[in-house]
Amino acid sequence: MASPAGPLGEFLRAQRSRITPADVGLPDVGGRRVSGLRREEVAVLAGVSADYYARLEQGRERTPSTPVVEALATALRLSPDARNHVFRLARLSPGAQPVPGPVSDELMQLMDAFPHAAAYVIDPGFQIIAANATARALLGESQLAHGAMDFVFLDPAARAYFQNWDLVARAAVSALRLAAGFSPPHPAVLPLITRLRAESAEFVGYWEDHTVAGLSMTEKTINHPDVGRLTLTYQTLDVRDAPGQQLTVATATPGSPSADALALLGALEATRSSHG
């Protein structure tokens, strides 16, 4: 059941709970019954009335002006991703999540030109729609077939695969919430959220945290069943000529055991493909 506060009110309340008075230079008066800032304190910082801010959080006011949302974003110290998200929730920016077409031949060629890196493309629904040989070997059949979100939360193997599963899971939910803020979101996003909420208690806990950020996690440690442990650095980029697609490239420090293991994965996949 949808909350009466609506997405905007829920988001504002969650962000308010993360900030202490000391963070924004306010005195911490005793008897505080809420975690983070009070509504009245946010209102003062944003230069709006306490009643108006309360109505925003309660869902009784859902059409704030651009200056008000800008002031709230500053008062709540929102990150760039979270700032863009709150503007979308307030319906003050172009909100439609694009539905990209197929991966271009040129991008496929680029990924194949990375022999020492795992490169793959995801769509707005977090399905892996293209991958080079090294990425196919690194990701494995479950992620390739069902998508990154399903693997993280619904496949028990993910907890052994990711050395830092909790951090990976939090980053995944944060990116999914960002995708859900588009109006309308990609057609696959809301059904994905519904399924994960129904099937994963851990997902529900992270989802209710209301953290918003793109796919920004830069390092993961993976326990791969074929080559053992790898520590990889990830870079995710928007595909300029196909809005909605994101290219992720995972690399290892040159000369490291992880680099050797990543190269071995590529070679194993090439051998499997040649015998397939």
The tens digit of pLDDT for each residue in 195-244 reads 999 999 999 999 988 887 776 658 999 999 999 999 999 999 888 777 77
- The residues that bridge with 251 in the sheet, in sequence order, are 233
Place 185 in a pLDDT band, splitting at 50, 70 and 90: confident
Q: Count CB atoms within 10 A of the CB of residue 166.
A: 11
**Pair of tokens at residue 40:** 């009245």
**Tens-digit pLDDT profile for residues 80-113:** 788 889 988 998 875 666 666 789 999 999 999 9
Q: What is the mean pLDDT of residues 37-66?
A: 92
- pLDDT tops 90 at residue 251: yes
Percent of the chain residues topping a pLDDT of 70: 92
Residue 271 is predicted with a pLDDT of 80
Residue 170 is predicted with a pLDDT of 92
Residue 242 is predicted with a pLDDT of 78
- pLDDT tops 90 at residue 30: no
Q: What is the mean pLDDT of residues 51-74?
A: 92
Q: What is the mean pLDDT of residues 4-11?
A: 89
Least confident of 61-70, 100-109, 169-178, 213-222: 213-222
- pLDDT tops 80 at residue 123: yes
Say if residues 173 and 207 touch (Cβ distance below 8 Å). Answer: yes
Tell me: cis bond preceding 184? Omega within 30 of 0 counts: yes
